[in-house]
Chains A and B, each alone.
Chain A
């Protein structure tokens, strides 16, 4: 199980200061020698979950690989805001090729390292949900199936943000995007079958799959380090709220990620060889409304022309996640 129960809560908010932890349990961000892989000066929006997630994830991967890391980036917000020519925020070797080929490019980098006998050099590939669940899906599945030595991190902000918030196959039902407008009898995105990429990754039987959110950055760091300790294809699906695309306050990014987890909308778990081995339990269960209401992309579900039936269907999705992954402790609220 990934969550480290820390008993001496200072504030009752489940946070704990680094000073109270043993040095090897501290966040990599508390390390003055951290790699600062994605340096200041990039152009992400204020409160961008993706920028925050990438910072924690890549610094942790750098720490775990002793700085022997190469990153491959798909086209998307992370790529665009980090490398406007002639500036680059990246302090590690980094390549961007296309929107849909990051997993394959990473396979190539890993193959080159293998053929050159440079076992110590590790490879991470990263992309948004659009890149991962849609256009790069074939390349990702190929990389998984061959079990290439790549850690792939999906930054899931639930839409094509870089092109102006269009629907991807990771966009939740009912959400407003530029291509799923809140008009007509069933406003927003359709209630489809969903495309659960962590589970699809698990179905490939790869050695490690995990989900995480930017509300639990220590959990994210732990999972990245864990993944880096394993060879072969690995997948981390990171939930990263996007203030611009979701219509949320930029100071609410972490709160939104926490509510996604606490409502059951985004299950946080890890799996080995296709089997779930641990979940982050819900601490204070919240109703789905609490997660939906602060987000303008769901505004049409509430107010004058409310759609309580759609809210109910979303609640049903969260409830199903809770049952399926066992997100609630027996007897808890």
Chain B
């Protein structure tokens, strides 16, 4: 059913349609609206049978989900940013144990400095945690990916994060098609666990494992993700059959046929990028887009196939590998190894910094002319940065960085007004 609704509300409805049996909730922006809506559905009896547990931390949220999943219940939670970091030990544990938990990550920056706005640093920090990660471009896709996520997680017995941009998607009102219960039931069978805690068949889960078997266990986690590379396109095709729309898959291209310059990105920024590409296409530029839906597993083959015919590519990412450059860009470069393609990295939108069409167009034109540095920081305020660097050169006790920058910026605007 088509309706005008908030992204979080739409996702909550999609989760409810997936018949979760245990939901663990802990508040952190911008994820809160999702679990709030689910809590209301459970309390009112609309979503039943389901246990909604208000836990005391994200570490507990993931731990409760570990227990409920190991006991055979379809388990869900949602988090972001500091919350994801707070649960990290349990995040790795869930994948190590092979528990198919589904978690929404409402992507948000990581502090310090504390910042509630969107970028991809949080889930990307869990790149190697053994969780799959799918990135939604729109709220419709967020809804659809959650439904596919339960299928994927449970078929492989591995956990998965569905990542959606905090605020930009979670708090945006737009038209979303919410499927019917019959459709979801037809697509998603009940959870049939591979391992379950049950007195009928006692087993030990989580035993101590030494060097004799540890590598095999870890390799199998990798093998599962390699299987996911096959399964994700199948599930997406099947989804289209049941629900009548394209959603998910490993990657998606846009106006890429004869593109000489390709822009690679993940999440909602793809919308802005496509707008800019449309404008540039009209002006005759041969430019296209590659959107990565599946960040883990990373579809090396598909990324390579999508880029191999262009002349250069630019990875625009909302994350920063401090001391190195791009996080996504590293993987993309790995995908095109040996092609000799020119690759650029652009770091943009950290901590919710606006990514404007004008800035993108400017960036893409420079990429097209191959005038870019290997790593570009889009719309970075160099004055503020240099001022702080100068302060540090002059003064040993230069003070807290973020506060200095804010102070400088305040002075600047005061100067403008004064």
State whether B199 touches A105 (Cβ < 8 A): no
- Chain A contacts with B in 122-150, Cβ cutoff 8 A: 138-139, 141-142, 145-146
State whether A69 touches B55 (Cβ < 8 A): no
Question: Given the complex of chains A and B, what is the CA–CA distance between A116 and B69 in angstroms?
Answer: 12
Q: Can you list 26 contacts pairing A with B, beta carbon distance less than 8 Å?
A: A79-B208, A83-B204, A85-B210, A95-B70, A96-B207, A97-B90, A98-B90, A100-B59, A101-B89, A104-B64, A105-B67, A107-B53, A108-B53, A108-B68, A108-B71, A110-B67, A111-B53, A115-B50, A115-B51, A117-B49, A121-B198, A121-B199, A139-B60, A139-B63, A142-B57, A146-B53
Question: Given the complex of chains A and B, what is the CA–CA distance between A263 and B220 in angstroms?
Answer: 54
Q: Which residues of B contact A138 (CB under 8 A)?
A: 56-57, 59-60
Q: Which residues of B contact A73 (CB under 8 A)?
A: 206
**Shortest Cβ-Cβ A-B pairs, 3 listed:** A108-B67, A142-B56, A112-B71
Supplied contacts A83-B207, A98-B93, 17 more A-B pairs, CB within 8 Å: A70-B197, A70-B199, A93-B201, A93-B203, A95-B70, A97-B97, A106-B67, A108-B68, A108-B71, A109-B71, A109-B197, A112-B73, A115-B51, A115-B68, A139-B63, A142-B55, A142-B57
State whether B54 touches A107 (Cβ < 8 A): no
Question: Given the complex of chains A and B, what is the CA–CA distance between A109 and B59 in angstroms?
Answer: 16
Residue ID in chain B nearest A80 by CB atoms: B208
State whether A70 touches B71 (Cβ < 8 A): yes
Q: Which residues of A contact B90 (CB under 8 A)?
A: 97-98, 101
Q: Flag whether B324 is at the interface (Cβ < 8 A).
A: no
Q: Which residues of B contact A117 (CB under 8 A)?
A: 49
State whether A96 touches B205 (Cβ < 8 A): yes
Q: Flag whether A201 is at the interface (Cβ < 8 A).
A: no
State whether B66 touches A108 (Cβ < 8 A): yes
Q: Which residues of A contact B21 (CB under 8 A)?
A: 112, 115-116
Question: Given the complex of chains A and B, what is the CA–CA distance between A105 and B75 in angstroms?
Answer: 12
Contacting residue for A108 out of B49, B57, B69, B205, CB 8 A: B69
What's the nearest-Cβ distance from chain B to residue A161, in Å? 15
- Chain A contacts with B in 278-319, Cβ cutoff 8 A: none
| Total number of A residues with any Cβ neighbor in B under 8 Å | 45
Q: Which residues of B contact A70 (CB under 8 A)?
A: 71, 197-199
Q: Flag whether B352 is at the interface (Cβ < 8 A).
A: no
Question: Given the complex of chains A and B, what is the CA–CA distance between A73 and B197 in angstroms?
Answer: 13
What's the nearest-Cβ distance from chain A to residue B23, in Å? 9
State whether A139 touches B204 (Cβ < 8 A): no
What's the nearest-Cβ distance from chain B to residue A183, in Å? 34
Q: Flag whether A328 is at the interface (Cβ < 8 A).
A: no
Question: Given the complex of chains A and B, what is the CA–CA distance between A325 and B62 in angstroms?
Answer: 39
B residues adjacent to A (C-beta < 8 A): 21-22, 24, 49-51, 53-57, 59-60, 63-73, 75, 89-90, 93, 97, 197-199, 201-210, 212-213
State whether B207 touches A86 (Cβ < 8 A): yes
Question: Given the complex of chains A and B, what is the CA–CA distance between A109 and B75 in angstroms?
Answer: 11
What's the nearest-Cβ distance from chain B to residue A60, in Å? 16
State whether B56 touches A92 (Cβ < 8 A): no
Q: Which residues of A contact B57 (CB under 8 A)?
A: 138-139, 142
Q: Which residues of B contact A96 (CB under 8 A)?
A: 204-208
Q: Which residues of A contact B75 (CB under 8 A)?
A: 108, 112
Contacting residue for A84 out of B71, B72, B97, B208, CB 8 A: B208
Chain A 53-91 against B: per-residue CB contact (8 Å), 1 yes, 0 no? 000000000000001111011000001100111101011
Residue ID in chain B nearest A122 by CB atoms: B199
Q: Flag whether A113 is at the interface (Cβ < 8 A).
A: yes
Q: Which residues of A contact B60 (CB under 8 A)?
A: 101, 104, 107, 138-139, 142
Count chain B CB atoms within 10 A of each CB in A83, A93, A98, A114 and give the residue with the most: A93
State whether A101 touches B204 (Cβ < 8 A): no
What's the nearest-Cβ distance from chain A to residue B59, in Å? 7
Question: Given the complex of chains A and B, what is the CA–CA distance between A80 and B204 in angstroms?
Answer: 13
State whether A101 touches B63 (Cβ < 8 A): yes
Question: Given the complex of chains A and B, what is the CA–CA distance between A34 and B279 in angstroms?
Answer: 77
Knowing A85-B207, A98-B93, A104-B60, say if A69 contacts B199 (CB, 8 Å).
yes
Knowing A68-B199, A100-B59, A138-B56, say if A105 contacts B66 (CB, 8 Å).
yes
Q: Which residues of A contact B206 (CB under 8 A)?
A: 73, 83, 95-97
Q: Which residues of A contact B69 (CB under 8 A)?
A: 108, 112
Q: Flag whether A94 is at the interface (Cβ < 8 A).
A: yes
State whether A94 touches B205 (Cβ < 8 A): yes
What's the nearest-Cβ distance from chain A to residue B71, in Å? 3
Question: Given the complex of chains A and B, what is the CA–CA distance between A97 and B49 in angstroms?
Answer: 26
Question: Given the complex of chains A and B, what is the CA–CA distance between A85 and B199 in angstroms?
Answer: 21
Knowing A98-B93, A138-B57, A139-B56, say if A108 contacts B209 (CB, 8 Å).
no
What's the nearest-Cβ distance from chain B to residue A140, in Å? 10
What's the nearest-Cβ distance from chain B to residue A71, in Å? 9
Question: Given the complex of chains A and B, what is the CA–CA distance between A113 and B201 in angstroms?
Answer: 15
State whether B71 touches A88 (Cβ < 8 A): no
Question: Given the complex of chains A and B, what is the CA–CA distance between A90 and B203 in angstroms?
Answer: 8
Residue ID in chain B nearest A145 by CB atoms: B56
Question: Given the complex of chains A and B, what is the CA–CA distance between A22 and B17 in angstroms?
Answer: 56
Question: Given the complex of chains A and B, what is the CA–CA distance between A73 and B66 in angstroms?
Answer: 13
State whether A116 touches B67 (Cβ < 8 A): no
Residue ID in chain A nearest B24 by CB atoms: A108
State whether A90 touches B70 (Cβ < 8 A): no
Contacting residue for B204 out of A94, A97, A112, CB 8 A: A94
Residue ID in chain B nearest A95 by CB atoms: B205
What's the nearest-Cβ distance from chain B to residue A100, in Å? 7
Q: Which residues of B contact A146 (CB under 8 A)?
A: 53-54
Q: Which residues of A contact B64 (CB under 8 A)?
A: 104-105, 107-108, 111
Contacting residue for B68 out of A68, A94, A109, A145, CB 8 A: A109
- Chain A contacts with B in 16-65, Cβ cutoff 8 A: none
Q: Which residues of B contact A108 (CB under 8 A)?
A: 22, 24, 53, 63-71, 73, 75
State whether B73 touches A104 (Cβ < 8 A): no
Q: Which residues of B contact A113 (CB under 8 A)?
A: 71
State whether A112 touches B67 (Cβ < 8 A): yes
